[in-house]
Structure 1
Amino acid sequence: MTPMVSTDPQRTLDGAAQVAVIGLTQVTEAVQAVHRAIAAIPFSMLGPLPGARGTAFTHDTIADGVYDAVRIVTRGVGEGARRIIRALPAEYLPDPEAPAPWQGQAISALNGAFGDRLAEHGSALTLGMTFVHHGRALPLDAAAWAAAHPQATGKVAVFVHGLCCNESVWDLHRAHHDGQNYAERLSREGGFTPLFVRYNSGLGIADNGATLSQLLDGLMEVYPRRIQHLVLIGHSMGGLVARSALAQAMDDDAAWLKPTRHLFCLGAPHLGAPLEGWAWHAARLLDRLPFTAPFGGWLKARSVGIKQLRHGHLRLTDGVNENLDTVFGSAAGPCPRPANVRLGFIGSSLGANPDALIARWFGDGLVRLASAHAALIGEADRASFSGLHHLQLSNDRRVCDQLIAWLRA
């Protein structure tokens, strides 16, 4: 498994400089493309006039040279900045033992938006999938786990966050949960040991599902006690990743399936997320005009993880021959689940009236109730709540009451 992004501040700053150079270079290319498209309009109108073609050629040559120079300077400054960063003494760097909370959140958001591209470029900001303990990666080492969880129980709850988030999402909205979170209540009221996963949510959902299955297999080997009861709780995309892990674990007859009893999906877009569909239509619309096409290119640069939310693709065979930039794509295929695992799907709607037009059309703001409940999937426990937006599903008293009720049933 790929290690989590380095906590070495030099590598983190170096990765940030690399991303900045790539971003500025792409901005330059977009501006150049818009410039060319706009300039082509008067030149095409003046085309029949004597000397017009030569003037257009001269203009394009000079303009392209300027943009090339901007790119060269950007790359040069970026490389210089990266060399300076690598040479900085430790006293001038942030304390690696006390990283700012926003740093991890920003890196997770960046991975969600462009994580597949970060991985392609080998960026130091690329997240790997790992368990985290107090904000730090917890390697699959028995001694490390014994030290981190001296009071480990045989009941384990694994929390999988959603797109552009990290484990801190489970700690939001404590005011809606009497100052608590799900992990604390499940530990106190159910005897569960809570574990948190962090991952690159910009990668393909099925790819993350395969990695999660491997991670859970590793957990079985290093956890301080024999796991007797395993529960997966996924928020948003995390629910799809967990469902994908279950299906792939069945193919591999993975050891972690045996103690797994429940999978709870909170606001997971099993049937797709409308916002991603709208993004696809917007990109296609921008592509129609030469001076807006570069902005369509920016929109299409969103990660494959985001694009797969359009239909809830979570199997390696889903959309395998489809270019999700050029075609809207097909619905996700069937995804098996083990007979011993009970599914629980929770959705929510904006406003107090779940039958109102805004609630039915926008759901929790990102996922419609029908998609979160996914009646087509078959047997599952289902619950819905009104007045909760998408992120509030990650920490709400009523939602936690429902989870505990299902666990006790």
Structure 2
Amino acid sequence: MMRTRPLKVALLGCGVVGSEVARIMTTHADDLAARIGAPVELAGVAVRRPSKVREGIDPALVTTDATALVKRGDIDVVVEVIGGIEPARTLITTAFEHGASVVSANKALLAQDGAALHAAAEAHGEDLYYEAAVAGAIPLIRPLRESLAGDKVNRVLGIVNGTTNFILDKMDSTGAGYQEALDEATALGYAEADPTADVEGFDAAAKAAILAGIAFHTRVRLDDVHREGMTEVTAADFASARKMGCTIKLLAICERARDGASVTARVHPAMIPLSHPLASVRGAYNAVFVESDASGRLMFYGPGAGGAPTASAVLGDLVAVCRNRLNGATGPGESAYAALPVSGMGDVVTRYHISLDVADKPGVLAQVATVFAEHGVSIDTVRQQGKDGEASLVVVTHRASDAALGGTVEALRKLDTVRGVASIMRVEGE
């Protein structure tokens, strides 16, 4: 039996994603109604520029007063796709207070204030869903939160930003430098006019915070995530990676300590073996690799951004929330019972690739090896190439803590025979 009274939806934002949400709600209205058990009706659209022509949207639904829209009282679900911290945060909490559930794609807000938003939703008996906040169309939040709820997730390793993956893939496949690859990404629309949020890792860090919180049942905020950008990655780094049978990706890595007593979350460029599934992720695609006790290794792959892919995730949440509403129930809320401490980057243990510019004379390698040994960092391989009194020395280590590696590099810089540390890159995925 289908309920005839429609569930009313307020849409906050009608840009690239919002316009696709409205389009799908209209063109797939019958299918959505059949899947939910009741029709869904777009009851209002809050925008900043009401004069802009929005194809397929009744101008009578358009308003600049988002607050009034979420306060109406007859709204069942608010879809927030405006992004940023404010006014999104206030609008979402106001929606809860006035009896509406919320579907959001706002990674920055959820990474910063997810706990408070979940608490507000629970206090008012409403849903907060946000599949679209992390990896566009890729089903990831719900599998972590529901499908793997009976398992123990130990590691989440992923490419969660399409812009950076496009740039690094272009550098790898064509030999282009960073700026050249960025220029192409901008021309093709993969990079914003100001790409800072992407290339400096802010976007990926927000997603890492959300993933870590869900995977480890622990509150992880954006400030807990170690972040390094990829603007210093060079063609020489890719050449070194190829010699190791690796490529370079900007990775979000969330993992439990081996003793299970703490977790870490980080974003940085890293070398990964060509044999790893993430190495073959090309262009602007995203992929996330999940490792758990019972399920083993799982990989989620697909378009991680864009209007239609992101709208697909939003609509999936909308269907779920509407079904819950019809059944008088709510879906899973925040699960932070584990309350594990979030360790700093110094506690992370991995392998490292260090490139040094050194004097080309006897005894240099012995000096460098001594510094590594004094700091408890074991060397796996060394490659040296000399020319005209100068040499490059590439050292690949066994697993060591980031703190130990940091102390090693600091000591290396003090050696008279070391002209400079050309690059330091972690080696992951082994």
TM-score (norm 2): 0.32
Larger strand share, 1 or 2 = 2
TM-score w.r.t. structure 1 length? Answer: 0.33
